[in-house]
Structure 1
Amino acid sequence: GRTEAAGALRTGLSGRLRIGAVPTASGAVALLTGPFCAAHPLVTVEVRAGLRSRDVLGGVRDFELDAGITYLHRELGEEFRAVPLYEERYVLLTDAADSPAPGATATWQDASRLPLCLLDGAMEGRRVIDEVFAGAGLRAAPRLETDSVAALFAQVRAGRWASVVPYAWLHVFGVPPGMRAVPLTAPERTVSVGLVVSAREPAPVLARALTGLADGVDVAGALEHLPGEA
């Protein structure tokens, strides 16, 4: 709350906070760095937002990163402490001319039949999507893959491709002109995303300040609404 923020200002935390994140979590990172920088004006922040999940965890373990934001759906082990931030859910991004009426939903089977552009297979965000397809007895066979969120949006926006993307991306990028984002159901699947720091004591002071702040920020609520929505 405000009293902690005022206290932090008086203590004058300084230094450089290094955060690593999987590409799908860039919206969550921004929701934390804003209030963090406001509370700690002497701290600079470095965000590495294009990392693979294993590199996020490796960086936190080796103290090359103070904190990471990644998927919490696998066992992290006792060396990490995690603060859940939000549940990632998925939408089908299609050409508006091809897609159902507003308010409609699509199934993962519908998605599997489209010419898909997805993140590449080495990325945890893609593995999560593959697991949902597999759980429904389906297999996604994308004709185009990329390791970049921006490149994926550019491909879809140019036409011809559909994609399965986290709803939270729409919070950052919006829905490209001429496209429609349709919630994916059947199966309805979400995956937990959270802030990860080293469990070693004493915790580095900047990591401790960030986890304390994360406990009080409603990341899930903010990502639930697109900018401009009522």
Structure 2
Amino acid sequence: MLDKLEMFIALARESHFGRAAERMNIAQPTLSAGIKQLEAQLGVQLVYRGSRFGGLTPEGQAALVWAKRLVDDVRHLRDEMRISRQGLTGEVRLAVIPTAQTWAGRLCTAFAHRHPNVRFTILSRNSREILQMLDDFEADAGISYLENEPLGRVDTAELYDESYILVCARNSPHAKKRSIAWSELDGQTLALLTPDMQNRRIIDQLFAESGVTPATYIEANSIIALVASVASGHCMTVLPKEVASFLSGGKDIALVPLDGASRQQKVGLILPHRDPRTPVLSAMLAEAQRLTAV
């Protein structure tokens, strides 16, 4: 039944028989037959059918929750059985907010040094998508903000405090300043992350507290796009200090400290609250705590 549950999950995710079959690397008739066999085994209709996929029935919605849980449990069972023979092994799917990508690389590298048989897939997502992926068993862990917005029932380990800096071209009038007040950004042309990013909501809140109304020139869900826009000399941006320092290296860009509204945001590892926790995720939590202590 496990393969049929995986087909069902793929169909629910893609909302299209062809794309789901492609995702599973099988023929579409094979997927359709698998869904019908699963319905026969469970004794209920899971999918509305017409000329195309019509959505999940109420029974299908309920079955999807169980399907995700069962497939995830089997995956963890296989990992634990391998661990009993080979030590820590397997794959960790880590969903990470864009501003924490450098820390994701640091954490995964440190973990891999201790446990070379564990592989990582790092996925860039916004904070709300990360929580949804954890709930849907599509990610094993995340790195996101810990305090600004509700997280739900998760376990966390703080990694660092995020502080902010102005990023501008070296020929900008602000480039040679030792620091700049947030209030001086009022009316300035800025490139910022899109509103679906929690970092943008944090920055907007800091702007509001300082009485700033920025002129948003470019919005992007990529920090690289923001830095490239700044390098063109037509705008500035506000970014977390660490990722700004990492991306500005070797570029004609200046980093200017921001004075005034300097409240920091805690960023850390987020794990689903499950008992028992898998050995790999327990070791990952310990590695995050070790990095923070260092």
TM-score category of the 2 structures, normalised to the smaller one:
0.7 to 0.9
1:118 aligns with 2:118: no
Please list, as runs of the form range in 1=range in 2, the aligned pairs for 1:66-145 lying within 5 A after superposition: 66-72=140-146, 73-77=148-152, 79-97=153-171, 98-101=173-176, 104-145=178-219
Candidates 275, 287, 291, aligned match of 1:201: 275
Q: Partner residue of 2:108? A: 33
User: Within 2, Cα distance between the matches of 1:174 and 1:153?
Assistant: 7
Question: 1:121 offset after TM fit, Å?
Answer: 1.4
Larger helix fraction of residues: 2
User: Within 2, Cα distance between the matches of 1:130 and 1:91?
Assistant: 14
Helix, strand or coil for the counterpart of 2:189? coil
Q: Partner residue of 2:135? A: 61
Q: Which deviates more from structure 2 when the two are superposed, residues 156-165 or residues 56-65?
A: 56-65
Helix, strand or coil for the counterpart of 2:216? coil
Question: 1:180 offset after TM fit, Å?
Answer: 0.9
CA RMSD after TM alignment: 2.1
Question: 1:137 offset after TM fit, Å?
Answer: 2.4
Q: Partner residue of 2:95? A: 20
Please list, as runs of the form range in 1=range in 2, the aligned pairs for 1:44-55 lying within 5 A after superposition: 44-49=119-124, 51-55=125-129
1:152 aligns with 2:226: yes
TM-score (normalised: structure 2)? 0.67
Q: Partner residue of 2:252? A: 178
Give the ranges of 4+ consecutive aligned residues of structure 1 lying more than 2 Å apart after TM superposition: 137-141, 174-178
Question: 1:59 offset after TM fit, Å?
Answer: 1.2
Residues 14, 42 of structure 1: 8 Å contact kept? yes
User: Within 2, Cα distance between the matches of 1:59 and 1:171?
Assistant: 29
**Unpaired runs of at least 5, structure 2:** 1-82
1:188 aligns with 2:262: yes
Q: Which deviates more from structure 2 when the two are superposed, residues 146-155 or residues 176-185?
A: 176-185
Question: 1:21 offset after TM fit, Å?
Answer: 0.4
User: Within 1, Cα distance between the matches of 2:151 and 2:235?
Assistant: 35
Question: 1:178 offset after TM fit, Å?
Answer: 2.5
TM-score (normalised: structure 1)? 0.84
Helix, strand or coil for the counterpart of 1:218? helix
Residues 227, 248 of structure 2: 8 Å contact kept? no
**Higher gyration radius (CA):** 2
User: Within 2, Cα distance between the matches of 1:94 and 1:193?
Assistant: 25
User: Within 1, Cα distance between the matches of 2:241 and 2:110?
Assistant: 22
User: Within 1, Cα distance between the matches of 2:175 and 2:217?
Assistant: 23
| Cα pair distance change 1:197/1:57, threshold 3 Å | same
1:164 aligns with 2:164: no
Structure 2 counterpart of 1:107, one-letter code: A
Deviations 1:95-146 (A, max 9, x none): 22222536x1111111233210111112111111001111222233311111
Bigger RCO (CA 8 Å, 6+ sep): 1
**Unpaired runs of at least 5, structure 1:** 1-7, 222-230
User: Within 2, Cα distance between the matches of 1:40 and 1:171?
Assistant: 29
